[in-house]
Amino acid sequence: MINTGKLAGRTIFVTGASRGIGKAIALKAAKDGANVVIAAKTATAHPKLPGTIYTAAEEIEKAGGKCLPCVVDVRDEVQVRGAVEEAVKKFGGIDILVNNASAISLTPTDQTDMKRYDLMHQINTRGTFLATKECLPYLKKSNHAHVLNISPPLNMETKWFSNHVAYTMAKYGMSLCVLGHHEEFRPLKIAVNALWPRTAIKTAAMEMLSGGGTHSAYRNPDIMADAAYAVLSQDPAKCTGNFFIDERVLFEAGVKNFDAYACDPNNKDNLMLDFFLNEDQAKPCVGTGSGETGMEQGLAQGPFGKKKEAPSGPVENVEGIFRVIEASLSEDLVSSTKAVFAFNVTGKEEGKWFVDLKNGSGQCGKGEPPTAADATLTMDGKNFFAMFTGKTKPATAYMLGKLKISGNLQKAMKLEKLMGKLKAKM
């Protein structure tokens, strides 16, 4: 996404911009010659997280922008108001607000302490509302006023709540601000939109969630920065109230190849999808080189044909899960999937299993697969059971380190659709 100069001289206030997506957006605006206000907490180097507001400011000025680094905890009304006033004093006003600061904890209710619950709600929802409120008097005076929240589309499906309801509520709070503010501010010609990634993005938060593991299935933050730039360059009177997905924004802006955004170019077709996306939103744009997988197509066609009768009674162990899978195999599923999965189960039910959805009419069972596996999944038996019975999402298990995947990550994560079909039979 080439810079056009449309943000030259504009003042952009970005929360949480000392690293990650926030800093990438700030740098993109700086290349236009924008004035950038970094509002973040990190004033001194963190032992586990790279970058401070001052190192980010140096990068922004080297990129061609002017920068004001401000120590801001978005939970603190006085600090947010003070940073806004400093920005107005230095740059004369505020044209754009990017609400990027966020906290995450993908934990179920019994594992979410209230301190962490409060942190997420105070940063994500309250911080977004507060920053918008404080910037509003100056946005009203701008002839190019935008508010952009880095938050997801409001998909009210139970699967986005059941495994981490505290985080979902806090993150959706940012999206609810878009829902309300875009209509409230419409008469003022202030655009309010949300932007969310189609795939997982390599950030400090993701590194911590994945235990510092491989990033081969992630994209870098530049794709979000380029998408944000495309949105923020629009006429605010004509572009408001949208829940944008990064890849779709760039595709419609003329970008047809997304290979450069992959952290590992060799794995560009096997990227992990982000949360909160329905099937249409999760589909890649034409031209990405990573079209709909066989698993998606097969499951879209209808229920599985059955080879064997499913076991009667509740499924209580790993072996029972594979009996249900075996009863669900069909030639149509095999022809549309074309993948072999190996499972290394540890713990009390230790053993190796496989599901062959590539050959004949399909098969599954104990031991090694008959042909080389496309993806190998390793996890404890309890976590395996929880994942296949719908209590834990594969993406959550992976990011929390409960599930290890080698091979074709995209195909492995698409097993979630198969799990959804099997859940009713368990």
Active site residues: 167
Backbone torsions φ then ψ of 108, nearest 5 degrees:
-70, 175
**Separation of alpha carbons 234 and 92, rounded Å:** 22
